């Protein structure tokens, strides 16, 4: 199985680089070959990526989220999966280059940092933990996709205002199309984060007193900050479906929500103590 992992560590980044190059060729040159092969090649890369994640889980009998490379890998897979769903729904492939731009360096880093796995703690063997953290990563992957589409919307909006009808105008989806993809990604992320919070509350209520939450269920700042991110994206979705705001202020609100999400992640990994530091748990249990 270790040989399979080594092979996948090389193959998956190469497939993503090839897919990114094909989408870039599609955006700048629009050849028939790229139009036919862009989505299938990315689907093959995602399938190989998913196979690697599942093989890690099966080989080590645990959730494949025990260290930073594994977390980044699942996050990148989530971005690709969300993009493929949106691309199929919107029937527009020209934004693929932009969505894959953060995925390629992430996967190269993952391949170069993949560590030898230690004996996993019991926490990583819990199916509920695996579902809880997977939904969280899917939520944040969706928010990243939403952000990319939000930036693309504002870029196209500015292009139209300046009447600079160049390649960006001709290749990108319409403003309504970009807004629809951003809202769709935000909605997927909001639903995934809702499931994350619900599973976390169930999981925390079932844990023995003090086992995971020595300061009580609400003693971990990550819970409150996650609720803040959830509320920020919920407000953005509400502006679209309930208050019928126009697209531009909704996109700005989504970008502000992503800034909040990034700041909470940075704070939790630098200055705020949290029991959610699972890489620390893995190191401690494997020592």
Average pLDDT over residues 37-54: 95
Whose structure tokens read 């909605």?
A: 187
The residue that leads in pLDDT, 200 or 138, is 138
**What pLDDT is recorded for position 281?**
45
Residue 78 is given by DSSP the state: H
Q: How far apart are CA 229 and CA 225, in angstroms?
A: 6
Q: How far apart are CA 142 and CA 132, in angstroms?
A: 16
**What pLDDT is recorded for position 192?**
97
Among the listed ranges 2-16, 24-38, 39-53, 107-121, which one has the minimum average pLDDT value?
107-121
**What pLDDT is recorded for position 272?**
57
C-beta neighbour count of 124 within 10 angstroms: 23
The residue that leads in pLDDT, 243 or 216, is 243
> What's the distance, Cα to Cα, between the start and end of the chain in Å?
23
| Contact present, 286 and 119 (Cβ < 8 Å) | yes
Confidence of residue 143 (pLDDT cuts 50, 70, 90): very high
Residues 6+ apart with CB under 8 A from 69: 109, 110, 113, 114, 115
**What pLDDT is recorded for position 41?**
97
How does pLDDT run across 272-282, given as a tens digit for each residue? 555 555 544 44
Phi-psi region of 210 (alpha: psi -120 to 50; beta: other; left: phi over 0): left
Residue 125 is given by DSSP the state: G
Q: How far apart are CA 106 and CA 38, in angstroms?
A: 20
Q: How far apart are CA 173 and CA 227, in angstroms?
A: 32
**What pLDDT is recorded for position 216?**
52
How does pLDDT run across 2-16, given as a tens digit for each residue? 555 666 788 999 999
The residue that leads in pLDDT, 222 or 92, is 92
The residue that leads in pLDDT, 93 or 7, is 93
55, pLDDT greater than 50: yes
How does pLDDT run across 177-235, given as a tens digit for each residue? 999 999 999 999 999 999 999 988 787 666 555 555 555 555 667 788 889 999 999 99
**What pLDDT is recorded for position 63?**
82
**What pLDDT is recorded for position 223?**
80
**What pLDDT is recorded for position 206?**
64
Among the listed ranges 84-88, 163-167, 216-220, which one has the minimum average pLDDT value?
216-220
Determine the distance from the C-alpha atom of residue 206 to the mean position of all C-alpha atoms in its chain, rounded to a whole number.
28
The residue that leads in pLDDT, 116 or 184, is 184
Whose structure tokens read 């844990």?
A: 207
Q: How far apart are CA 161 and CA 155, in angstroms?
A: 10
Within the chain, residue ranges assigned H as helices are 2-28, 32-60, 68-90, 96-113, 127-161, 167-171, 175-206, 221-241, 247-268, 278-286
Cα dihedral: 81, 82, 85, 87 (round 10): -110
Confidence of residue 123 (pLDDT cuts 50, 70, 90): low
How does pLDDT run across 60-79, given as a tens digit for each residue? 778 888 778 888 999 999 99
């Amino acid at each position: 199985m270790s040989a399979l992992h080594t092979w996948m560590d090389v193959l998956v980044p190469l497939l993503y680089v090839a897919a990114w190059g094909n989408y870039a060729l599609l955006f700048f040159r629009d050849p028939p070959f790229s139009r036919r092969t862009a989505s299938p090649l990315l689907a093959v890369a995602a399938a190989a990526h998913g196979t690697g994640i599942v093989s890690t889980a099966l080989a080590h009998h645990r959730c494949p989220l025990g260290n930073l490379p594994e977390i980044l890998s699942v996050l990148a897979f989530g971005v690709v999966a969300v993009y493929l769903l949106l691309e199929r729904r919107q029937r527009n492939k020209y934004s693929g280059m932009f969505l894959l731009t953060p995925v390629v360096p992430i996967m190269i880093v993952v391949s170069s940092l993949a560590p030898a796995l230690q004996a996993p703690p019991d926490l990583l063997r819990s199916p509920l933990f695996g579902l809880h953290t997977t939904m969280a990563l899917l939520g944040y992957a969706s928010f990243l996709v939403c952000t990319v589409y939000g930036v693309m919307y504002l870029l196209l909006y500015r292009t139209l205002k300046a009447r600079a009808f160049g390649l960006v105008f001709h290749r990108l989806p319409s403003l309504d199309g970009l807004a629809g993809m951003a809202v769709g990604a935000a909605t997927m992320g909001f639903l995934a984060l809702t499931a994350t919070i619900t599973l976390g509350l169930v999981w925390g209520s079932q844990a023995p007193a003090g086992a995971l939450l020595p300061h009580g269920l609400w003693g971990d700042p990550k819970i409150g900050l996650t609720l803040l991110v959830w509320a920020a994206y919920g407000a953005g979705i509400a502006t679209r479906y309930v208050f019928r705001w126009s697209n531009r202020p909704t996109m700005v609100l989504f970008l502000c929500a992503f800034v909040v999400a990034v700041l909470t992640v940075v704070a939790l990994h630098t200055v705020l103590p949290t029991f959610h530091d699972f890489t620390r748990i893995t190191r401690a249990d494997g020592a």
